[in-house]
Structure 1
Amino acid sequence: MLTFILKGMGMSAGLIMAIGSQNAHVLRMGLRRQHVGLTVVICIACEILLILAGVAGVGGAINSQPFLLALARWGGAAFLLWYGLRSLRAAFQQQSLVTTAGDLNLTAGKAVLAVLGATLLNPHTYLDTVVLLGAIGGQQPGDGKYWFALGAVLNATIWFAALGFGARLLAPLFARPVAWRVMDTLIGVVMLLLAANLALA
């Protein structure tokens, strides 16, 4: 049991900690202290549903359908391109320098839509959880796949909670405009590289 849990946590950690639109969004909400709990809970809930779906066999089904893979590929490349350009644009706008919750009037509804967009419109979310984790977890013998899924979910819970609620520790650094510009620029470049990699794969 413990072996499968640790394997799930390790595999999930290797995939989830990469810079991506979801992590960038959680970090940004944590720095601005806006709807952090709501954002973290939605991210964790999405991870649970997608990982369980993958382990249950959805990942294998998607992987066997060229049309679905092509749709995810080009749709994902378009999303990453848009997200990357938006981040680069934000690096030169005053709004990207805001660090306090009171400076942005983001409603709970908009916060939900924002985190769902950053999570579910990103193809790497499905590739990492449904396809990769699902394929590896589904290969575990007996009930091992469910313990593997539990380990992956535990890692996701720890990661998003730490990223969202721990971001406030970085608030003094991001009180400086240049820090926001560097972060937005870095995220933008990474998103464009991911989009190019997905399109050329």
Structure 2
Amino acid sequence: MPAAALSGFLTALSLIVAIGAQNAFVLRQGIRREHVLPVVVVCAAADALLIGAGVAGLGVLVTDHPVALTLTRYVGAAFLLVLAAGAARRARRPERLDPSAHGPAGLAPVLTTCLALTFLNPHVYLDTVVLLGSLAHQHDPGAWLFALGAACASVVWFTALGFGARLLRPVFARPRAWQVLDVSIAAVMATLAVLLLVA
């Protein structure tokens, strides 16, 4: 793998692996075995789109319009608080948490949530569009190789997270485990929402 692509892969992986609302959502879908492939594809494709936009020069536009980022920050925080409240509500009734006792969630609401978690997070623009876009141009004329490596990191990570989560399925055979997961998700999302608001 050329040096620029490897650098892009490792840099993007270091950014993506951080605990966040999107990763928590993908993990939960993977454990539930619900629409895992579409969720992985949407997450990876969104990252590739944003990374490509950053290399193409959208980063300058993002930094020149801080009002748009501020608006995204407040809308994103509100959305995260709604999701946190939903996870906390699920955790209050652990006997109803096991997905095997219910029908699967519809594809449309799952993908809508996935897209919202991706595009309503202002940090995704700073990380993928601004930061990765800027770093890519440090590898000119291999900027697009850097972007390709970064996009590959996203594919590898979300595939491993989404499909690897099934290995945790035996742990989640008990409702109490689902309760712990949803409490953790609620805490992560609420914390991220607060951090967005005070940033």
TM-score calculated relative to the size of structure 1: 0.88
Instruction: Decide which moves more: 117-126 or 19-28.
Output: 117-126
Show the counterpart of 1:195. Answer: 193
Does the residue aligned with 2:170 lie in a helix, a strand or coil?
Answer: helix
Count of residues in correspondence between the two structures: 199
How far has the Cα of 1:163 moved from its partner? Answer: 0.8
2:171/2:177 contact within 8 Å kept: yes
Instruction: Decide which moves more: 154-163 or 5-14.
Output: 5-14
Show the counterpart of 2:106. Answer: 107
How far has the Cα of 1:44 moved from its partner? Answer: 1.2
CA distance change for structure 1 residues 115 and 73 in 2, over 3 Å: closer, same or farther? closer
Show the counterpart of 1:27. Answer: 27
Show the counterpart of 1:3. Answer: 3
Cα RMSD, aligned residues only: 2.1
Show the counterpart of 2:98. Answer: 98
How far has the Cα of 1:158 moved from its partner? Answer: 0.5
Cα distance in 1 between the residues matched to 2:76 and 2:85 = 14
2:73/2:121 contact within 8 Å kept: no
How far has the Cα of 1:150 moved from its partner? Answer: 0.8
Show CA shifts across 1:64-95 (max 9, x none).
22212221222222222222222222221348
Amino acid across the alignment from 1:23 = N
Show the counterpart of 2:151. Answer: 153
CA distance change for structure 1 residues 59 and 87 in 2, over 3 Å: closer, same or farther? farther
Alignment of 1:1-201 (within 5 A): 2-94=2-94, 97-100=97-100, 103-137=102-136, 139-201=137-199
1:59/1:131 contact within 8 Å kept: yes
Cα distance in 2 between the residues matched to 1:84 and 1:94 = 16
How far has the Cα of 1:59 moved from its partner? Answer: 1.7
Does the residue aligned with 1:57 lie in a helix, a strand or coil?
Answer: helix
How far has the Cα of 1:111 moved from its partner? Answer: 3.0
Q: 5+ unaligned residues in a row in structure 2: which ranges?
A: none
Cα distance in 2 between the residues matched to 1:37 and 1:55 = 27
Cα distance in 2 between the residues matched to 1:115 and 1:158 = 18
Amino acid across the alignment from 1:46 = A
Q: 5+ unaligned residues in a row in structure 1: which ranges?
A: none
Cα distance in 2 between the residues matched to 1:91 and 1:124 = 28
Amino acid across the alignment from 1:92 = R
Does the residue aligned with 2:104 lie in a helix, a strand or coil?
Answer: coil
Show CA shifts across 1:34-63 (max 9, x none).
111111111111111111111211122111
Cα distance in 2 between the residues matched to 1:70 and 1:117 = 16
Cα distance in 1 between the residues matched to 2:11 and 2:194 = 25
Does the residue aligned with 2:169 lie in a helix, a strand or coil?
Answer: helix
Show CA shifts across 1:122-163 (max 9, x none).
3333232222222322x3242321111111111100111111
